[in-house]
Amino acid sequence: MANRHGNRSLPASLAGTAALLVLLLLPLLVRDEYYLHVLIGSLYFAYMASAWNVVSGYTGQLSLGHSALSGIGGYLSTLLFINTGLSPWIGMVIGAACASAVGVLIGWPCFRLRGPYFALTTIAFAEILRIWTENTEEILGIELRGAQGLSVPLKGHSPALFQFQSKLPYYYIVIAMLVAVMAITWWMERSRLGFYLKAIRADQDGAEALGINSTRTVLAAMALSSFLTALGGSFYAQYFRYINPERNMGLDLSIEMALMGIVGGQGTVWGPVLGACLLTPAGEISRATLGGKFPGLHLVMYGLVLVLAVLFLPKGLIHPIRRLAGRRAGRQVGKRACPA
Amino acid sequence: MPLLEVRGIRKAFGGLQAVKHLDFTVEPGEILGIIGPNGAGKTTVFNMIAGYFPPDAGEIIFKGEAIAGMRPWEVSRRKIARTFQLARPFGDLTVLENVMVGGFLHQGSREAARQKAEAVLRFVGMSPQADVEAHTLTVVDRKRLELARCLATDPELLLLDEVVAGATPAEASAMMDLIRKIRDNGVTILMVEHVMRVIMGLSHRVLVLHHGETIAVGEPQAVSRDPAVLKAYLGERYGQA
């Protein structure tokens, strides 16, 4: 039994180590800032989709408002930096803790109900937060600057303040964040929490009959997911040195996080990463080549990809890959039951 | 002292009185069978004991503690486990992982939960299927898996809702042996069943429900000869056949 899980994770960990090595060495080959930017973007989205996956992928409760949590993270770390000079390294943890609390408050009434309430509530909350921020110039003497957004004050090369001259440090930071979120997901999947989440996703009544407090379990995942998402929002703010409501808490970002998770394969460690690594460059290329002529075409493409994925690979792109890897390693995936 | 005591419970769904007024006790170590025509309120009684909805009135006492109105997981943690009429395994998980979900209730670590699950699978005879994905199981194996999941939570009282439905006579006999084995290990059993051979063969006592009320209770042989039972339940069925 033990080597069954060993077999399953061996190809994945080998592939992971190889991918990590390639990523770490890639900047030696890629000198062009633009390509580095696309790489950072892909890794950032891989991180965000993975953070979304912690709650939506493992519980089946679709969130279409995760951008609100990203916005809370990005705005709080930036506002704390502007107004108190607090390093964004610390500010991002404070922002993440607040986002965690907000995530629990959104989830608490919804997870007690069944049905699409959570998806609807997350959209509504994120949109209300975005519209409010866009229309608020200042609150309690703190400048929010509405739709214009906030610039992170330039301090030159200052690692302690999460500011660097070149893109390279951001590249390594986002790799570290992605590895961390994947490790957390991997650990969670194997822990009691992961088992409970998957049980609730499959059959909530059945899970509760085995002593699982489903509301509390899903809220724990929501708190974790919110925390991680907000850290991503702060990273975004530091990387671009600028945040605005549309980009950092808009519906687009929420949809992209969910889309990458769903297309890649929700409820798996690698699925959201795969989804992000395919869709981000695809979106970037279509925007760069066709963006001028057909604004919004990348959104049409996203829609098309989602339809195709749901039709042909409802478990995500990762599923056939896993089956193949499992077969190579001698594991019988989806082995038929022998009639007793 | 009875293990479970149900006192005057009542439940209505809108204008329908599913359970009108019900008293019964379950003694430690016994198998109590509940029978009754469709709609007699059998599953409603289970749902109230297991915390899926509270009774409108009455008390449910388990080991001296009032449990009416508790949530399902609170009831489960007090060592009452239940199966469902329609067994739905956690489909994405393997058979072993399904049972581990139950094992985690009283085992802290993943390793301990896995050992617990393996022991339970050996007990119910499903070890060869441990690595099979649960959604590929037959209906009867799903029922066995559900039973295994329950056993992994170390129950003292097991509520079985039609565990032999859909089984062939041979499979039903195997399930009966398993239920006896569970009882012999010290688990008290309250079961709802339609198959007469099973309920009469296993139960120490049988309780007959009709329109949400008890019409007879006692030893299987005595109950099966009770005129009220013949009229309300057996008579109705056999009359149509």
User: Over the stretch A109-128, which tens digit does the pLDDT of each residue have?
Assistant: 887 777 788 888 888 888 89
Residue A333: its H or E element = none
Selecting from B84, B104, B131 the residue whose C-beta is nearest the C-beta of A192 gives: B104
Distance from CA of B104 to the nearest CA of A (A): 6
- Any idea which residue has 């965000």 for tokens? A48
Contact A267 B118 (CB under 8 A): no
Query: What's the pLDDT at A324?
Result: 75
Answer yes or no: are the C-beta atoms of B82 and B50 closer than 8 Å: yes
Closest CA to A63 of A12, A27, A19, A99: A99
Closest CA to A60 of A197, A211, A194: A197
Residue A243: its H or E element = strand A242-243
Query: What's the pLDDT at A334?
Result: 43
Closest CA to A54 of A229, A199, A208, A205: A229
Selecting from A202, A213, A336 the residue whose C-beta is nearest the C-beta of B73 gives: A213
What is the tally of helices (H) and strands (E) in chain A? 15, 4
Q: In angstroms, rounded to a whole number, what is the distance separating the alpha carbons of residues B83 and B162? A: 8
Selecting from A1, A199, A212 the residue whose C-beta is nearest the C-beta of B130 gives: A1
Query: What's the pLDDT at B238?
Result: 54
Q: What's the whole-number mean pLDDT along residues A48-66?
A: 90
Contact A207 B101 (CB under 8 A): yes
Distance from CA of B168 to the nearest CA of A (A): 12
Residues of B in contact with A271 (CB under 8 A): none
Query: What's the pLDDT at A338?
Result: 40
User: SS3 sequence, chain B?
Assistant: CCCEEEEEEEEEECCEEEEEEEEEEECCCCEEEEECCCCCCHHHHHHHHCCCCCCCEEEEEECCEECCCCCHHHHHHCCEEECCCCCCCCCCCEHHHHHHHHHCCCCCCHHHHHHHHHHHHHHHCCHHHCCCEHHHCCHHHHHHHHHHHHHCCCCCEEEEECCCCCCCHHHHHHHHHHHHHHHHCCCEEEEECCCHHHHHHHCCEEEEEECCEEEEEECHHHHHHCHHHHHHHHHHHHHHC
**Is residue A196 pLDDT above 50, yes or no?**
yes
Contact A205 B129 (CB under 8 A): no
Answer yes or no: are the C-beta atoms of A242 and A152 closer than 8 Å: yes
Selecting from A1, A191, A339 the residue whose C-beta is nearest the C-beta of B96 gives: A1
Interface test with B, best of A210, A214, A217 (most B CBs within 10 A): A210
State the average pLDDT for chain A: 82
Q: What's the whole-number mean pLDDT along residues B165-172?
A: 86
Query: What's the pLDDT at A326?
Result: 64
User: Over the stretch B26-72, which tens digit does the pLDDT of each residue have?
Assistant: 999 999 999 888 778 888 888 999 999 899 998 999 998 999 889 99
User: Over the stretch B173-206, which tens digit does the pLDDT of each residue have?
Assistant: 999 999 999 999 999 999 998 888 888 889 999 9
Lowest mean pLDDT among A112-116, A134-138, B230-234: B230-234
Question: Torsion angle, CA of B87/B88/B93/B94, rounded to 10 degrees?
Answer: 20
Residues of A in contact with B81 (CB under 8 A): 209-210
**Is residue B241 pLDDT above 50, yes or no?**
no
Task: Give the three-class secondary structure for A201.
Answer: helix
Contact A208 B150 (CB under 8 A): no
Contact A210 B76 (CB under 8 A): yes
Specify the higher pLDDT residue, A247 or A114: A247
- Burial of residue A327, with CB atoms counted within 10 A of its CB: 0-12 exposed, 13-18 middle, 19 or more buried: exposed
Task: Give the three-class secondary structure for A9.
Answer: helix
Q: Quick one: pLDDT band at residue B82, thresholds 50, 70, 90?
A: very high
Question: Torsion angle, CA of A112/A117/A123/A126, rounded to 10 degrees?
Answer: -20
Query: What's the pLDDT at A197?
Result: 92
Q: What's the whole-number mean pLDDT along residues B73-92?
A: 89
- Any idea which residue has 């650990």 for tokens? A187
Amino acid at B18: A
Q: Is A330 on the interface with B (CB under 8 A)?
A: no
Contact A209 B84 (CB under 8 A): yes
Query: What's the pLDDT at B114?
Result: 92
- Please name the residue of chain A whose CA is at the shortest distance from the CA of residue B102: A210
Interface test with A, best of B48, B71, B73, B157 (most A CBs within 10 A): B73
Query: What's the pLDDT at B235?
Result: 57
Q: Quick one: pLDDT band at residue B120, thresholds 50, 70, 90?
A: very high
pTM of the full structure:
0.85
Answer yes or no: are the C-beta atoms of A71 and A245 closer than 8 Å: yes
Interface test with A, best of B101, B120, B126 (most A CBs within 10 A): B101
Query: What's the pLDDT at B41?
Result: 84
Query: What's the pLDDT at B71?
Result: 92
Answer yes or no: are the C-beta atoms of B215 and B208 closer than 8 Å: yes
Contact A211 B118 (CB under 8 A): no
Query: What's the pLDDT at A328?
Result: 56
Query: What's the pLDDT at B30?
Result: 92
Q: Is A202 on the interface with B (CB under 8 A)?
A: yes
Selecting from A4, A198, A209 the residue whose C-beta is nearest the C-beta of B81 gives: A209
- Please name the residue of chain A whose CA is at the shortest distance from the CA of residue B104: A192
Tokens read off for B6:
């149900």
Q: Quick one: pLDDT band at residue A337, thresholds 50, 70, 90?
A: very low
Residues of chain A numbered 204-233 and touching chain B (CB < 8 Å): 205-214
Q: Quick one: pLDDT band at residue A139, thresholds 50, 70, 90?
A: confident
Residues of A in contact with B89 (CB under 8 A): 202-203
Query: What's the pLDDT at A340?
Result: 33
Q: What's the whole-number mean pLDDT along residues A168-190?
A: 91
Query: What's the pLDDT at A6?
Result: 43
Residues of A in contact with B114 (CB under 8 A): 1
For A60, A197, A277, B97, B110, the CA distances from A194, given in Å and listed in that order, are 13, 5, 25, 11, 11
Task: Give the three-class secondary structure for A294.
Answer: coil
- Burial of residue A312, with CB atoms counted within 10 A of its CB: 0-12 exposed, 13-18 middle, 19 or more buried: exposed
User: Over the stretch A70-92, which tens digit does the pLDDT of each residue have?
Assistant: 999 999 999 888 888 888 899 89
Q: What's the whole-number mean pLDDT along residues A232-256?
A: 88
Please enumerate in sequence order all residues whose Cβ is within 8 A of that of B125, keeping only pairs 6 or more positions apart, or say none. Answer: A340, B144, B178
Distance from CA of B178 to the nearest CA of A (A): 14
ipTM of the complex: 0.87
Distance from CA of A216 to the nearest CA of B (A): 11
Give the rounded percent of residues in chain B with a pLDDT score beyond 90.
Answer: 43
Distance from CA of B153 to the nearest CA of A (A): 7
Task: Give the three-class secondary structure for A77.
Answer: helix
Query: What's the pLDDT at A29?
Result: 80
Q: In angstroms, rounded to a whole number, what is the distance separating the alpha carbons of residues A331 and A326? A: 5
Query: What's the pLDDT at A15?
Result: 78
